[in-house]
DNA sequence: TCGATTTGACCTGC
DNA sequence: GCAGGTCAAATCGA
């Protein structure tokens, strides 16, 4: 492959990064078999692999089929059939904050569940946003929540959802293994706000977890955790005030799988972000 | 007074 | 018929 296209450049760099990460993992393993830092190296490997896979799929001439969903053609919201598949399901610990403004519209005691199931819909439903979510405390960990998302945000995302046009709250991204967030908190790194921008330009929920001490108020437990919702105006103001500059992070979006590869390649800013990561290896 | 939440009733799929 | 999902009136709080 030649390096005459941005995709080729990124692929080359990511391949180098992947090799470097593998090497780093080997070194860490050799230095200290039980080192938790190995998880970081593994995480980098996974991310690189993901980028490379996406790139290869793109360069193969196959384009991901655009989602069938179209905002203007969206049918009126219908009842979900029982067991309908969620667009995304996440498990969060201690918080249900995800950067969107949700309006609770129902609560139901579920058979065999100690805690009721809560139903939320996007606060911008009047604007045609049909996104809903279902929040349920997990059986194993009462302080943790299973959140199932249904529908897509068509309200142009968190910026639109937020009354001040602000950005999502500080939250730690869970890239799947939660190792980044945990490592970040442990190292005192800045708590990265990172919600993901979906392909329609709206924000899609990432897997969000609260880091133990990253942000005031985000880590609550037990009976008070549910009080921290984004419809709490005071909370929103506090969080936005604490982090006024959060905006879309294309790199994180991409790595989190919510930003299409084509969007990255077609947008110089997104591409620059990825290249920055690639050269960071 | 108005917007948000609560909660019982209703609707629908299995 | 039951269980889960949604509606909408009642209630609450700023």
pLDDT of residue A156: 55
Q: Which of A81, A89, A87, A77 is nearest to A130 (CA)?
A: A77
One domain for residues A170 and A47: no
One domain for residues A159 and A46: no
Q: Contact A110/A135 with Cβ under 8 angstroms?
A: no
pLDDT of residue A131: 82
pLDDT of residue A30: 72
One domain for residues A142 and A230: yes
pTM of the model: 0.44
- Residue A191 in domain: yes
Task: Print the domain residue range for A135.
Answer: 85-248
pLDDT of residue A186: 32
Q: Which of A167, A166, A171 is nearest to A215 (CA)?
A: A171
Alpha helix (H) ranges present in A210-260? Answer: 233-242, 250-255
Q: Which nucleotides of B are covered by protein (CB under 7 A)?
A: 4-9, 11-14
- Compute the radius of gyration of chain A from its Cα atoms: 20
One domain for residues A238 and A274: no
Contact, A203 CB vs strand C, < 7 Å:
no
One domain for residues A18 and A126: no
Q: Which of A231, A232, A276, A37 is nearest to A122 (CA)?
A: A231
Q: How many structural domains are present in chain A?
A: 2
Q: Output the 3-class SS for A35-71.
A: CCHHHHHHHHHHHHHHHHHHHHHHHCCCCCCCCCCCH
CATH of the domain at A157: 2.20.25.80
- Residue A30 in domain: yes
Report CA(A105)–C1'(C9) in Å, whole number. Answer: 13
Report CA(A264)–C1'(B6) in Å, whole number. Answer: 44
Q: Which nucleotides of C are covered by protein (CB under 7 A)?
A: 2-8
First and final CA of chain A: distance in angstroms? Answer: 21
Q: What is the mean pLDDT of each run of 10 residues along chain A (281 residues)?
A: 50 64 70 65 62 48 32 44 66 71 86 85 78 82 80 60 41 33 33 35 39 33 36 35 36 40 42 41 38
One domain for residues A106 and A228: yes
- Residues A239-280 have pLDDT tens digits of 333 333 333 344 444 334 334 444 434 444 444 444 443 333
Query: How far apart, in whole angstroms, are the C-alpha atoms of residue A211 and residue A171?
Result: 8
Provide the token pair at A2.
């030649």
DSSP 8-state class, residue A76: P
pLDDT of residue A252: 41
pLDDT of residue A45: 63
The count of C-alpha atoms lying within 13 angstroms of the C-alpha of A39, restricted to the half-sphere facing its C-beta, is: 13
- Residue A264 in domain: yes
Residue A261's SS3 state is helix
pLDDT of residue A261: 41
Provide the token pair at A5.
């296209």
């Amino acid at each position: 492959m030649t390096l005459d296209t941005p995709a080729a450049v990124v692929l080359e760099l990511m391949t180098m990064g992947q090799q470097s990460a593998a090497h780093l993992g080997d070194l860490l393993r050799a230095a200290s078999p039980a080192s938790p830092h190995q998880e970081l190296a593994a995480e980098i490997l996974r991310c690189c692999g993901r980028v490379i896979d996406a790139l290869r799929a793109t360069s193969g001439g196959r384009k991901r089929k655009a989602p069938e969903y179209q905002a203007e053609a969206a049918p009126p919201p219908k009842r979900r059939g029982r067991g309908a598949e969620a667009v995304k399901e996440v498990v969060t610990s201690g918080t249900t904050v995800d950067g969107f403004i949700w309006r609770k519209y129902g609560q139901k005691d579920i058979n065999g569940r100690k805690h009721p199931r809560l139903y939320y819909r996007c606060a911008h439903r009047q604007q045609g946003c049909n996104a809903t979510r279902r929040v349920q405390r997990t059986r194993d960990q009462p302080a943790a929540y299973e959140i199932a998302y249904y529908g897509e945000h068509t309200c142009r995302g968190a910026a639109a959802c937020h009354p001040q046009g602000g950005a999502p709250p500080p939250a730690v991204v869970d890239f799947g293994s939660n190792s980044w967030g945990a490592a970040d908190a442990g190292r005192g790194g800045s708590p990265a706000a990172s919600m993901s921008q979906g392909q329609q330009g709206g924000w899609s929920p990432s897997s969000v977890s609260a880091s133990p001490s990253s942000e005031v108020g985000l880590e609550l437990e037990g009976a008070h955790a549910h009080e921290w919702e984004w419809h709490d105006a005071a909370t929103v103001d506090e969080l936005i005030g604490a982090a006024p500059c959060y905006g879309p992070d294309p790199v994180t979006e991409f790595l989190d799988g919510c930003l299409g590869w084509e969007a990255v390649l077609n947008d110089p800013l997104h591409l620059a972000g990825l290249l920055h990561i690639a050269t960071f290896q």
